[in-house]
Structure 1
Amino acid sequence: MDTIRKYQDYVCTSFVAAIEPVVVERARGATVVDAGGREYIDCFAGIAVTNAGHCHPKVAAAAKAQIDKLIHAASYVYYVPPVADLAEQLAQVTPGALKKTFFGNSGAEGIETALRMAKAYTGRSEFIALTHSFHGRTVGTLSVTGNMQRKKRGGPYLPGVAFAPAPYVYRNPFGTDDPEVVAERCAEMVEWAIKYQTSGNVAAFIAEPVLGEGGIIVPPASYFRRVKEVLDRYGILFIVDEVQSGFGRTGKLFAIEHYGVEPDIMVMAKGIADGFPLSACTARAEIADAFQPGEHLSTFGGNPVSCAAALANLEVMLEEDLPGQAAAKGAQVLAQLREMAHEHELIGEVRGLGLMIGVELVTDRKTKQPAAKQAASIRAYAREHGVLIGVGGQEGNVLRLQPPLTITEGELERALDVIGKGLEMARSVSS
């Protein structure tokens, strides 16, 4: 098709193995329609972006109304009402004492802000991050990313970053299947990293409450509480990366709420405005106020249209109880996938919170050899049969199900039926 040819000739895409051969014409709810009129059940939501569904009427109406009034006004040069209103709303819905927000355009920009803010407040320059993590594709965010597959040929990266093992129960270095033992050991390793990999000048620890690109890794229940105890002993800030897990995705408005700890800085993007480009870095007031004139800015940050969409999106989240919907639908999907695991040896582990779900595929359950080829084949099979899913994980062997939270039970049933048939087909795929 003409669009595909233009992509091949004019769009830089060499950084992806292959673009899904779907020319997207329009979308609504959890349905994507291609240029030929074929419909797909979207179980990836633009990588966990359209949490309230594609083109939610309330979000679209708010953006259209704002476009007729003001599109751009340099929100850090002038006072812009939607920016002020959204910052106020975020202060009310985010956990703990988080209060002041810097708005950017992408998750990476939000993380860069958080790192800079932590340095400005503490006067320190080092960071602790996790293996398997992903925080963006700038030099700064890749420096705190613990996923080799995302960092290849991009170094050297910034110094002053130490890594502790991710609380990845299925693949942990401690020889145990006990989640609480893994939580304890991994928290101890955060302190080990502070003591033996840094100069004692650590500004912050950064982590995703559910590691998305790493393969939908869900930390054990006590992990962040144990880590926070370590951080408090050393006066280290906690930056939580909610770029992918925020806005109802895991069954609560923010995933860190599952763990009962309060971050010092929170970064949001993706689901914040249901598809409009926007990020938010929200911190305690005294931390946000540590910036001095000239130290930070964003020309397009706090775009009025994106902020208006985000305000409407937040209203939808609360009015339609999308976090509650994600919790209920996710529990059902997880139960069905775990039933499938009894029939399909290819499934090593099913894990997730809400509608942030990963299915890790292995060729052998004893050795846990990653089944990357099979994962790719199932993704292709699902697409060919009208279902869009993702694939992730360090080894590319985790099926990712992250649909719009408004997806219907019927759509989920059809999607799971296709995935089940894809698992059956993948038995014949050689490693």
Structure 2
Amino acid sequence: MRLAGTMTSALSKGYHKLLQPLHLSAVSFRCLSNNGPPKMPPCDFTPEKYTGLPYEDVVRIRKSNLSAVMTYYKKPILVHQGHMQWVFDHEGKRYLDLFAGIVTVSVGHCHPKVTEAAKKQMERLWHTTNIYLHSPIHTYAEKLASRMPGKLKVVFLCNSGSEANDVAMFMARVHTGNFDIISLRSGYHGANPYSLGITGHSSYKPAVANGFGCHMTMCPDVFRGVWGGSHCRDSPVQSIRTCSCSPGSCEAKDNYIEQLRETLDTSAGKKVAGFFAEPMMGVGGVVQYPKNFLKEAYEIIRAKGGVCISDEVQTGFGRTGSNYWGFENHEVMPDIVTLAKGIGNGFPMAAVVTTEEIVKSFTQALYFNTFGGNPMACAIGSAVLDAIDEDGLQNNCAVVGTHLLLELAKLRDKYEIVGDVRGKGLMIGVEMVKDKKSLKPLPAEEMSLIWEHCKDNGVLLGKGGLYSNTFRIKPPMCITKEDADFAVAVFESALIRHQQMISR
């Protein structure tokens, strides 16, 4: 499916040129080894001169006075300033940010509408607890609820995706009176002691007790998993696996559903509290499930007395392009939805949205959050929702995201180490392998070679997947086709360099 057309939505003042789709040929940006580095698209923003701590002092303080927080790259970037899809380091070098602060900067770094809303609210009131009435809190709750389908109309505001998922687990157990929670292997739902139980990555699990009553079923990965074919995904790009399914059937979906049934029969009680799934895995490597997997999974869970929770921390707010919420791509209606990251364009904010029926059960016990519904967060959240609409960003995700996916798929067909290209809208994964026959993950040192080359040439990528061999591309939703072509050119130049290094 190829999406086309131009954006006609009203755009924020001063940024219409930045956000208009640019119909430029990808060929003009492609880099061959003798043509030099790809040319970065223009930007009319000039960052302020950096006057902060010297780089060496920042590194020293990081080692001595901050907890053990990981950094990206051999020489970590000292980020100084941001502007829409761009970030600038302390030396003024510009980077195309295709990871968006881990899928958090949704409408653009320092978006003018969001920045102005923050300034106005800061001058009026920074904080009051939600035990009082304050207009921005209620304005935001109504605005967010209006974008939710069905009976999903009651909003709980909190501070992070991990906290939102903790609250959702608590809700599910209180409402159903059951205890067991089911999630998917390779999925990520946070690192709090409660939500850690439904996170399927050993890297995040310390050797301490966590997540009692949590059970995981097989990840329905149609590229690397046991089953999968060439027609499984709701994506412009399918996997390279062959498919022998008859029209209207999907053996991969049927087999992964059978694994869910087996998990319920062997690991959980007769009744369960709930089922957690991202509509498309984020940290897990942008894994997409077979069509109708979630639909059948929801039916099975509800038959067991449980509720269905959609973790929209990375997939929400139009990022997938075709729909505002990721679960809508699967034609399902969750009972609880968790939101964070892009909800505040980088401001600490999260939410749980559910039904009045579940809320009545949950409020039997007092739940309180000091900073949930902070006036600053709500003013910013409202501005983010407005910017998504006014800048036509959902449509931009569909147009630019599909273009980027199809261009990356050409590299998959050209290079043996590009195993899979997948995703929807501007949530994209590129899984790297040693070869397409074995599908063994590309070794970490080779991943780093490509990753570092992209950074050195002005493109920032994330990494993820169970084996950290998937490049995660989830930029601010305002990127253009010109930006996408530049990113593909830089990525291809990194693949060429990889070939040259390995062949030596």
- Structure 1-normalised TM-score? 0.95
Tell me which structure has the larger Cα radius of gyration: 2
The CA distance in 1 between the partners of 2:151 and 2:367, in whole Å, is: 22
Letter in 2 for 1:3: V
Residues 1:282 and 2:353 are matched in the alignment: yes
Residues 1:250 and 2:304 are matched in the alignment: no
Residues 1:39 and 2:100 are matched in the alignment: no
| 8 Å contact kept, 1:96–1:263 | no
Secondary structure of the equivalent of 1:173? coil
The CA distance in 1 between the partners of 2:484 and 2:289, in whole Å, is: 25
The CA distance in 1 between the partners of 2:349 and 2:413, in whole Å, is: 42
| 8 Å contact kept, 1:242–1:267 | yes
Letter in 2 for 1:64: K
| Alignment CA distance shift 1:47-1:148 (3 Å) | same
Letter in 2 for 1:58: K
Deviations 1:284-333 (A, max 9, x none): 11112222365422111111101111101001111222111101111101
The CA distance in 2 between the partners of 1:288 and 1:19, in whole Å, is: 48
Partner of 1:361: 432
Letter in 2 for 1:348: G
Residues 1:25 and 2:80 are matched in the alignment: yes
| Alignment CA distance shift 1:429-1:25 (3 Å) | same
Letter in 1 for 2:169: L
| Alignment CA distance shift 1:265-1:186 (3 Å) | same
Say which of 286, 297, 301 aligns to 1:227.
Answer: 297
Partner of 1:415: 487
| 8 Å contact kept, 1:51–1:248 | no
| 8 Å contact kept, 1:210–1:218 | yes
Secondary structure of the equivalent of 2:273? strand
Residues 1:187 and 2:257 are matched in the alignment: yes
Say which of 473, 481, 496 aligns to 1:401.
Answer: 473
The CA distance in 1 between the partners of 2:497 and 2:368, in whole Å, is: 51
More displaced stretch, 26-35 vs 155-164: 155-164
Residues 1:107 and 2:161 are matched in the alignment: yes
More displaced stretch, 230-239 vs 390-399: 230-239
Secondary structure of the equivalent of 2:309? strand
Q: Aligned runs of 1:14-413 on 2, under 5 Å?
A: 14-15=69-70, 21-75=76-130, 77-151=131-205, 153-174=206-227, 179=232, 180-251=250-321, 252-292=323-363, 294-371=365-442, 372-413=444-485
| Alignment CA distance shift 1:221-1:20 (3 Å) | farther
The CA distance in 1 between the partners of 2:207 and 2:190, in whole Å, is: 13
Secondary structure of the equivalent of 1:250? coil
The CA distance in 2 between the partners of 1:208 and 1:363, in whole Å, is: 28
The CA distance in 2 between the partners of 1:219 and 1:20, in whole Å, is: 36
- Determine which structure has the larger strand proportion and give its number: 1
The CA distance in 2 between the partners of 1:301 and 1:351, in whole Å, is: 35
* TM-superposed deviation, 1:430: 5.8
| 8 Å contact kept, 1:267–1:280 | yes
Q: Indicate the RMSD between aligned Cα atoms, in angstroms.
A: 1.8
Letter in 2 for 1:320: D
Deviations 1:332-365 (A, max 9, x none): 0111011111221110100011010000000021
Deviations 1:197-225 (A, max 9, x none): 11223110000000011111011221111
The CA distance in 2 between the partners of 1:259 and 1:367, in whole Å, is: 31
Deviations 1:360-408 (A, max 9, x none): 0000211111013322221111111111111111101001111111012
Secondary structure of the equivalent of 2:105? coil
| Alignment CA distance shift 1:95-1:154 (3 Å) | farther
Secondary structure of the equivalent of 2:338? strand
* TM-superposed deviation, 1:18: 5.6
The CA distance in 2 between the partners of 1:13 and 1:108, in whole Å, is: 19
The CA distance in 1 between the partners of 2:269 and 2:184, in whole Å, is: 18
Report how many aligned residue pairs link the two structures: 429
- Structure 2-normalised TM-score? 0.82
Unaligned runs of 5+ in 2: 1-54, 233-249
